[in-house]
Every structure is written in structure tokens, then in C-alpha cells.
Chain A
Amino acid sequence: ELEDGLDEAFSRLAKSRTNP
């Protein structure tokens, strides 16, 4: 679950960086 959460967190970070 932690791993899934981290995967998701990196996806959110990448999205926030491309569409701030």
C-alpha cells in the first residue's frame, strides 16, 4: 500500500510540475 501511495505521489508531482 505504501508503494502504491508513493507511485501515486510521484504521478501527482509530475502532473503538478507540467501543469502548475
Chain B
Amino acid sequence: GSVGMPAGAYVPPKSVWLPAMKAKGLEISGTFARRSGVIQMELSLTNKAMSVMTDFAIQFNRNSFGLAPAGPLQVLTPLSPNQTIEVSLPLSTSGPVMKMEPLNNLQVAVKNNIDVFYFSCQYPISLLFVEDGKMERQVFLATWKDIPNDNEAQFVIKDCHLNSDAASSKLQGSNIFTIAKRTVDNQDMLYQSIKLTNGIWVLTELRVQGGNPSYTLSVKCRASEVSQFVYQCYELVLKN
């Protein structure tokens, strides 16, 4: 972002999801973004075949968080050989739910006038971190105590050179909210909350020690299978 603007959520660079050789010349690369609460799949469609492509449509298989296209894939003009177009597809989270392995896996079908093609991709679950995920302090303390220790997962985030305030503000851009900060023995402890689109709350403690580039992240969540994906988001957000 420009000077004085919040950095916003991290958007990974596009990667190739469907190589042309597996889709009769159609190449699809893409990424996911959350902007002001709107989830989008951002796609580049390239025609590497010898003939024009038309009649595009997209469908998702059921998935862990109910991600579904909120409208049709808008490819309004035929795609000529060697042409690339950029398409943004808004997504909802009210589609059918089925737990996927890995949890953030999405199976996609794309059709055009030539055939139907299938691919899988993975989204950062920060896509699902909602804007009102700042938990009341009192509720945080009670919930932290209430979630059993067995549901706590710990991770080390290496090579991070931000101080705790910079980390906190960067994380907030991705809807990871700092509820409290305490300094004990030269360590800053950030207590943070996250709420997913399906109502699951995640509580974390981020430990930042002056002069030590390794952070310790503790994640407490009743649905403990989301913890490692939350950790992946911290890595992505803090290092980009």
C-alpha cells in the first residue's frame, strides 16, 4: 500500500494450478485474496491452444469451510490463442461443507468449449479470518483457561526481525487482533484472537524476545486441527 495506508492482508503470488498440457492448452494460475471482507479467487487464464476458447464456467467440490463461487466466472469475450485474461471470482462461504485433507484443499472444475478440467489448490486460511475477530478481553481470559492444554500447539517462527509492535500491526492487517501485550523478563507476550467465517475462534500467544529472531507461537483452539494452518498464516504474514 501507499504511505499512510494500512498494509492490508497478504496476497500470495499466483501459482500455476492447471498446466496447459493437462488441459488441452488452457493454463490457469491463481491466488486468493480477502479485501474488506470480500473473498476472491484471482485467476489468469491463458490459451496455449491453436483455437479460440469460449463458454467458460467454474464449479467447486464441497470443502472444509463451504467456499463456493458467489457468481459465474465472468469471461465475456472469447479467449484467442496466446491471449491471457485476468478474472476475479468473488466467493461465498455458504456452500456445502465436507472436511478435506488437507483442511485447506479446494477441488475445482473448469469447463470451456473444449472439455471439462479438474485441479486442486490450497488457500491460506487467513482468507477466512473475519474483520470482527477481536475477542472481548474478559472472554479471551475465560476461553484461554477453558480450552484444555492438550488443545494447545506450539510452533517456532524463525528469522523474524520485526519488533512486537510491528508484528502486531502487520498481523492486524490480516484480521489477527492483539487483545493484550505484556512484557515479562525481556519477552513481549502478545495475546491475540482470530475468528473464522464458520464461527470458530482461535486464541494465540506470540512470544517475542528482544534480539532473538525466533518467535514462539502458541495456538489454542477447540478445533485443534486448524492450529497448523493458523501457524502457516503467521509465517506468511510476518515474512511478507
Q: Residues on A close to B: CB < 8 A?
A: 2, 6, 9-11, 13-15, 17-18
Contacts and interface: CB of A to CB of B under 8 A. Distances in A.
Contacts of B182: 10-11, 13-15
Contacts of B119: none
Contacts of B180: 10
Interface in B142-169: 144
Contact of A18 (B137, B138, B141, B184): B184
Nearest to B180: A10
Nearest to B216: A17
20 contacts: A2-B138, A6-B137, A6-B138, A6-B141, A9-B141, A10-B137, A10-B180, A10-B182, A10-B191, A13-B141, A13-B182, A14-B182, A14-B184, A14-B191, A15-B182, A15-B184, A17-B184, A17-B189, A17-B205, A18-B184
Nearest to B182: A14
B93 interface: no
A2 B144 CA distance: 18
Q: Which of B144, B182, B218 has the largest number of chain A CB atoms within 10 A?
A: B182
A2 B138 CA distance: 9
Nearest to A3: B137
Contacts of A18: 184-185, 187, 189
Nearest to A7: B180
B168 to A, nearest CB: 15
A19 B137 CA distance: 22
A15 to B, nearest CB: 6
Contacts of A10: 137, 141, 180, 182, 191
Interface string B45-82: 00000000000000000000000000000000000000
Q: 10 closest Cβ contacts across the A-B interface?
A: A14-B182, A10-B180, A14-B189, A18-B184, A6-B137, A14-B184, A9-B141, A11-B182, A15-B184, A18-B185
